[in-house]
């Protein structure tokens, strides 16, 4: 097992899902962890879990859109835990809409959290690392949505593509300081965010069919990859994008909305089990092909 003993990691959005999974993985590997989240109480819940593992942990309420707040958090991490070796810009949100309907405020919020928030997190934590002069590891969370287009999700996809490229540029900026910067592109990971994107479907059951490796991903999977990228052994890896999706993208599976066969069949099956209300509520997430399927089912079932 990778050994992060003596290191301190800081993770944004670590009060849920992948962020919590990475924070716990770092702690299992021996690191102390500075947790933060915008929702009060959430980071503290993760910190309690980490302390139960025998590691030190702090918790703070930080909105990644707040530059001063992130600077204070990075400073407090060094003050309270003694150093800052590993930083993860993880916090993110998903707001879907097509280009025809997306509101300006929704677009700005999506970009502010997912792209600008990652920049501000990297800036605040990299400055603390440069001040300490010991190098460091920075990991940013992109998505497979940043490499494949998806109807009705252009702002999310764009924000994740931006993060992936910015990470490569930051790897160049920070190489002289022996700070590595790498991005992770998760596939479907079993979290509240992914469940929201899937809608009424059972994310585990659907992924058993969609994913070549036969299961949905878990936050602990991403945690394992983050530990590797954060380890001393990964000191020569920088500017890379690390997909972790169980083979989904290469199998053409990412495309529930684009109608590629594996997703389309699984989605059709899911639609057959939905109630009329659920069907109607799912309309917003559909492609032309899936919409046609909904229309057919509505007529077949006599729904208005
Ligand atoms: N779950 C997936 O399948 C999946 C796939 C690809 C990428 N991702 C990315 O992984 C990251 C984590 O997602 P998740 O699935 O764990 O979601 P999640 O909703 O379970 O957790 C996200 C956390 O970020 C916090 N957060 C939201 N806005 C914030 C803000 N402005 N400032 C600080 N914290 C904020 C939330 O409170 C929440 O605790 C996101 O960047 C997401 O886009 C997730």
* 16 Cα nearest atom in ligand 1: 39
pLDDT attached to residue 201: 66
277 with 187, same domain? no
156 is catalytic: yes
Structure tokens at 48: 């309690």
Helix, coil or strand: residue 249: coil
In the chain, what is the greatest distance between 2 CA atoms, to the nearest angstrom?
Answer: 69
Residues facing 181 on adjacent strands: 138
185 with 271, same domain? no
89 with 220, same domain? yes
Total number of residues shown for the chain: 304
pLDDT attached to residue 296: 79
pLDDT digit of tens for each residue in the chain (304 aa)? Answer: 689 999 999 999 999 999 999 999 999 999 999 999 999 999 999 999 999 999 999 999 999 999 999 999 999 999 999 999 999 999 999 988 888 989 999 999 999 999 999 999 999 999 999 999 999 999 999 999 999 888 889 999 999 999 999 999 999 999 999 999 999 999 999 998 887 776 656 778 878 877 889 999 999 999 999 999 999 999 999 999 999 999 988 887 655 444 444 555 666 666 677 777 776 666 656 556 666 777 777 788 877 5
E strands present in the chain? 8-11, 32-37, 57-61, 86-89, 136-141, 179-186, 241-244
Does residue 233 form part of some domain?
Answer: yes
From 156, 218, 236, 267, active-site residue: 156
Q: At what angle do helices 117-132 and 154-174 cross, to 10 degrees?
A: 20
280 with 140, same domain? no
127 with 198, same domain? yes
> Ligand 1 atom 41: the closest Cα is on which residue?
92
How far is residue 56's CA from residue 50's CA, in Å, rounded to a whole number? 7
**DSSP notation for 12-58:** TTTTSHHHHHHHHHHHHTT-EEEEEESSTTHHHHHHHHHHHTT--EE
> Ligand 1 atom 30: the closest Cα is on which residue?
63
Cβ partners under 8 Å of residue 78, min gap 6: 84, 128, 132
Whether ligand 1 lies within 6 angstroms of the CB of 186 is answered as yes
* 13 Cα nearest atom in ligand 1: 24
Whether ligand 1 lies within 6 angstroms of the CB of 205 is answered as no
Would you put residue 118 in left (φ > 0), alpha (ψ -120 to 50) or beta?
alpha
185 with 296, same domain? no
Asked whether the beta carbons of 106 and 93 are under 8 A apart, the reply is no
Q: CATH number of the domain at 199, please.
A: 3.40.50.720
233 with 272, same domain? no
pLDDT attached to residue 284: 55
How far is residue 14's CA from residue 281's CA, in Å, rounded to a whole number? 30
Asked whether the beta carbons of 56 and 32 are under 8 A apart, the reply is yes
Whether ligand 1 lies within 6 angstroms of the CB of 12 is answered as yes
- Could you give the count of Cα atoms lying within 13 Å of 10 in the half-sphere of its Cβ? 33
> Ligand 1 atom 42: the closest Cα is on which residue?
92
Whether ligand 1 lies within 6 angstroms of the CB of 143 is answered as yes
Q: How far is the CA of 16 from the centre of ligand 1 (A)?
A: 7
pLDDT attached to residue 292: 74
Selection from 156, 154, 161 nearest residue 194 by Cα: 156
Mark 156-169 as b/e (b = at least 16 C-beta within 10 Å).
bbbbbbbbbebbee
Whether ligand 1 lies within 6 angstroms of the CB of 193 is answered as yes
165 with 288, same domain? no
290 with 219, same domain? no
Relative to beta strand 241-244, strand 179-186 is parallel
> Ligand 1 atom 40: the closest Cα is on which residue?
92
Structure tokens at 56: 């030190």
* 112 Cα nearest atom in ligand 1: 31
Structure tokens at 151: 């109807």
182 with 275, same domain? no
Domain range spanning residue 229?
Answer: 8-244
Does residue 257 form part of some domain?
Answer: no
pLDDT attached to residue 259: 42
Number of domains in the chain: 2
Q: How far is the CA of 130 from the centre of ligand 1 (A)?
A: 27
Whether ligand 1 lies within 6 angstroms of the CB of 294 is answered as no
Does residue 98 form part of some domain?
Answer: yes
Q: How far is CA 240 from CA 13, 167, 178, 180, 216, in A?
A: 22, 8, 15, 10, 23
């Amino acid at each position: 097992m990778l050994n992060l003993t003596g290191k301190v990691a800081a993770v944004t959005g670590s009060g849920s899902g992948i962020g919590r999974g990475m924070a716990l993985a770092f702690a299992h590997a021996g690191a102390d962890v500075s947790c933060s989240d915008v929702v009060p109480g959430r980071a503290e819940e993760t910190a309690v879990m980490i302390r139960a593992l025998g590691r030190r942990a702090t918790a703070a309420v930080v909105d990644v859109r707040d530059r001063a707040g992130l600077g204070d958090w990075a400073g407090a991490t060094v003050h309270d835990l003694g150093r800052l070796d590993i930083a993860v810009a993880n916090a993110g949100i998903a707001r879907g809409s097509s280009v025809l309907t997306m509101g300006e405020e929704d677009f700005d919020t999506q970009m502010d959290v997912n792209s600008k928030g990652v920049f501000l997190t990297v800036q605040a934590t990299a400055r603390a690392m440069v001040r300490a002069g010991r190098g460091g590891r920075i990991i940013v969370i992109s998505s497979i949505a940043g490499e494949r287009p998806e109807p009705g999700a252009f702002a999310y996809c764009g924000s994740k593509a931006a993060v992936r490229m910015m990470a490569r540029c930051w790897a160049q900026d920070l190489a002289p300081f022996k700070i590595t910067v790498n991005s992770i592109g998760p596939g479907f990971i079993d979290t509240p965010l992914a469940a929201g994107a899937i809608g009424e479907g059972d994310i585990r059951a659907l992924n058993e069919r969609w994913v070549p490796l036969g299961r949905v991903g878990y936050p602990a999977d991403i945690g394992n990859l983050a530990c590797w990228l954060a380890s001393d052994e990964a000191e020569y890896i920088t500017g890379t994008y690390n997909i972790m999706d169980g083979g989904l993208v290469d199998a053409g599976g990412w495309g529930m909305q684009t109608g590629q066969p594996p997703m389309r069949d699984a989605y059709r099956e899911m639609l057959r089990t939905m109630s009329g209300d659920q069907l109607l509520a799912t309309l917003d997430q559909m492609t032309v092909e899936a919409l046609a399927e909904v229309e057919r089912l509505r007529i077949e079932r006599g729904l208005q």
